[in-house]
Amino acid sequence: MSSIHVTTQVNGDAVEFLCDTRETLLDVLRDRLDLTGAKEGCGTGDCGACSVTVNGRLVCSCLMLGVEAEGKAIETVEGIAKGEDLHPLQRKFIEHAALQCGICTPGILIAARNLLERNPDPTETEVRYWLAGNLCRCTGYDKIVRAVMDAAEEMREAS
């Protein structure tokens, strides 16, 4: 089967790739663009470890085909920090010990940033429901929720 040529944007950079029509966006990010920050935990959209944003919308990259990235703007965990400066969410996750094994962390950071872009002052319940699509098996979510709330507060004060 011949590959399809795709032109897209990833973390602000113009990117071109060839892929099979059966490859998911996650396959393309990890295997063709060497962006292994997004993880495959299930491949069926249940765990959120592969979360990215596409034109600002939160999606599971395992549920989208690579060819569908044509003309879109994609953001992954690799694009959250600006140079050597971590995003407040990244700093707060480290500070609050909000990760243990860290496999869910990239997806949760992407999802949490997307939440705070829409709702800078979420309640605990809003954080919990927004992150309900991102499974974490290690932490029980307590410190994750605290880190997101604390980052939101810091970002509100800074703005």
Tokens encoding 19: 């892929």
Select the residue interacting with another protein from 53, 88, 116, 143 (CB under 8 A): 143
User: Smaller CB distance to another protein: residue 16 or 84?
Assistant: 84
Size of the site for another protein (CB under 8 A): 61
Determine the longest span between alpha carbons in the chain, in angstroms. 54
Residue 117: name the closest of 73, 59, 62, 53 by CA: 53
* Minimum gap (Å) between residue 24 Cβ and another protein: 11
53-65: b or e for each residue (b if 16 or more CB lie within 10 Å)?
bbeeebbbbbebb
In this structure, the number of other CB atoms found within 10 A of the CB of residue 46 comes to 13
User: Smaller CB distance to another protein: residue 12 or 71?
Assistant: 12
- Report the relative pairing of strands 13-19 and 4-10 from DSSP bridges: antiparallel
* Minimum gap (Å) between residue 58 Cβ and another protein: 15
Select the residue interacting with another protein from 20, 68, 153, 154 (CB under 8 A): 20
User: CA 18, CA 44: separation in Å to the nearest integer?
Assistant: 23
Contact status: 18 vs another protein (CB under 8 A): no
Residues constituting the chain:
159
Q: Spell out, one character per residue from 89 to 128, where the chain touches another protein: x when CB under 8 A holds, - when not.
A: -x--xxxxx-xxxxxxxx--x--------------xx-xx
Strand partners, 36: none
Near another protein in 43-82, by CB under 8 A: 43-44, 46-47, 49, 76-78, 80-81
**Residue 19 in contact with residue 76, Cβ under 8 Å?**
no
* Minimum gap (Å) between residue 128 Cβ and another protein: 4
Task: Name the site residues for another protein (rule: CB under 8 A).
Answer: 20, 22-23, 27, 30-31, 35-44, 46-47, 49, 76-78, 80-81, 86, 90, 93-97, 99-106, 109, 124-125, 127-129, 131-146
